[in-house]
Structure 1
Amino acid sequence: MLDTKTRIRSFLGTRLPGDLTDDEDIFEAGLVNSLFAMQLVLFVEQEFAIQVGNDDLERDNFRSVNSIAGLVERHVG
């Protein structure tokens, strides 16, 4: 089974241009619009079988591969 960061990189790689580093801020780079932000939340919920609650819906949790992986790890345990 692929590790968390690999799965996140794969998803982002099919939807965003160029190669991202694990700590590159996709919001600051202008790569995220509101529709993609919702798709990202849905991906995380479905791919990792977790529920992203209202408290988790902060930009800091979705800025980069590392921050998304951190969110997942906090939920998965």
Structure 2
Amino acid sequence: MDTATADLLAFLAASLGTEVGPDDDYFAAGLTDSLFALELVSFVEHRFQLTIEVEDLHLDHFRTATRVLAFVQGKGPEPITSRS
């Protein structure tokens, strides 16, 4: 598992109070609320050093760790594993 995935899964576990896998849909499972959504966006911006615009705020981008990482990869010019 790369650092980006490990960091994101650690954040999710700490925020949700339970372990989730890369493809677990924590929104569909009812583990989240609107405050968590804001925290997730903030974490992603900080961890991956990017700005998430209003037009990027689609639930499908943030529904699973795999989707978050794919979204980040599409937003940035650098590979996500090289950012810290």
What is the aligned length? 76
Query: Separation in 2 of the partners of 1:3 and 1:75?
Result: 18
Matched residue, 2:82: none
Displacement of 1:41: 0.4
SS in 2 for 1:25: coil
The answer to which structure, 1 or 2, has the higher relative contact order (CA under 8 A, 6+ apart) is 1
SS of residue in 2 equivalent to 1:23? coil
TM-score (structure 2 length as normaliser): 0.83
Q: CA deviation at 1:43?
A: 0.5
Amino acid at match of 2:68: I
Unaligned runs of 5+ in 1: none
Residue 35 of structure 2: SS of its match in structure 1?
helix
Supply the distance in 2 between the matched residues of 1:70 and 1:41 (Cα, whole angstroms).
Answer: 14
Can you give the 5+ residue segments of structure 2 that lack an aligned partner in the other structure?
A: 78-84
Across the aligned residues of Structure 1 and Structure 2, the Cα RMSD in angstroms comes to 1.2
Superposition deviation, residue 18 in structure 1: 2.6
Task: Give the aligned partner of residue 29 of structure 2.
Answer: 29
CA contact (8 A) 2:61 2:67 kept: yes
Deviations 1:30-59 (A, max 9, x none): 011011100110010011110011121010
- Pairs within 5 Å for 1:1-77: 3-77=3-77
Distance in structure 2 (CA, Å) of the matches to 1:19 and 1:35: 19
